[in-house]
Amino acid sequence: MTAGELEGRVAIVTGGGAGIGRSIALDLAEHGAKVVVVDRSDPSPVAAEIVAAGGEAIPATADVTSETDLHAAIDAGAATFGGIDVLVNNAGIFASLQQRPFEEIPVEEWRLVFDINVLGSAFAVKAALPSMRARGGGAVVNIASTTAFKGSALPHYSSSKGAILALTKNLARELGGDEIRVNAVAPGFTVSAGVEQHADETATMRANAAGSRALHREMVPNDVVGAVRFLAGPASAFITGQTLVVDGGAYFH
């Protein structure tokens, strides 16, 4: 790996052990960032993949619903690399969710989705703030979803991603004085490792996705990484509170 647009920056990627998160972590490292790969499952293989390619990375096992876990992960990154500049809130639950009528979704599942998708992002920002402030600023990139604009057969998931859009705007307002930018990327249906592992649950959505787009093909994790890198890097230095839709033209935002 050679010097790139993120040279000297330290990035945390939650949910970085697989799927979209893995692709984001690899891309940020390829463009110069030192990466803390955070995941509930063992993130060591992704960190090792980055190091083998000539980059710098460490793994940090953490459940994003635990403030203690997130503080430990971010503290490890700051101790190893000197601070935190970028936080990518990618961890979420989606592919394993069963499509069913609204009134049949258990309340426990609603709470689980919001705990992971919304509170997990809020907790991660809270944990990263001291280090970002100490570095004189930073960039937060939240991974939302186009379902927040269009709705879906998973109303709790869509609602949680709508909350991410609102959180992005509110944090952008509050943290701008600290030179911390907060933006979001809203992908469309992406054929990630999680989708492949839960083929039955996602079959209908996958079958309909490509035909709904101006660009008629399936979306893959690498389609997301350029937008994330842009919002994490210097080219977006005067952009905050915004959501960038990446879905091949299924939703025009």
Which residue numbers are catalytic? 157
3-state SS assignment for residue 59: strand
CB 195 within 8 A of CB 202: yes
Task: Please give the C-alpha separations between residue 206 and each of 90, 189, 194, 200, 201, in angstroms, as whole numbers.
Answer: 20, 7, 12, 10, 10
Burial label for 253, CB within 10 Å (0-12, 13-18, 19+), is exposed
For tokens 């609102």, the residue is 166
Give 3-39 as a DSSP string. --TTTT-EEEEETTTSHHHHHHHHHHHHTT-EEEEEE
C-alpha–C-alpha distance, residues 44 and 107, integer Å: 34
